Chain A
Amino acid sequence: QSVLTQPPSVSAAPGQKVTISCSGSSSNIGNSYVSWYQQLPGTAPKLLIYDNNKRPSGIPDRFSGSKSGTSATLGITGLQTGDEAVYYCGTRDSSLSALWVFGGGTKLTVL
Chain B
Amino acid sequence: QVQLVQSGAEVKKPGASVKVSCKASGYTVTAYYIHWVRQAPGQGLEWMGRISPNSGGTNYAQQFQGRVTMTRDTSISTIYMEFSSLRSDDTAVYYCAREGQWLEGDYWGQGTLVTVSS
Contact = CB atoms under 8 A, between A and B. Distances in A.
Q: Report which residue of A37, A45, A88, A101 has the largest number of chain B beta carbons within 10 angstroms of its beta carbon.
A: A45
Contacts of A99: 35, 47, 50, 59, 103
Contact of B45 (A43, A45, A50, A54): A45
Say what secondary structure dominates the interface of chain A: strand
Contacts of B80: none
Contacts of B109: 44
A46 B45 CA distance: 12
Interface string A68-111: 00000000000000000000101110001111111111000000
Given A2-B44, A88-B44, A45 B108 contact: yes
A104 B43 CA distance: 8
Contact of B102 (A43, A45, A46, A51): A51
Q: What size tier do the contact residues of chain B reach?
A: 20 to 34
B37 interface: yes
Given A44-B95, A44-B110, A100-B37, A90 B102 contact: no
B103 A103 contact: no
A102 B44 contact: yes
Interface of A: 2, 32-33, 35, 37, 43-47, 50-51, 54, 56, 88, 90-92, 96-105
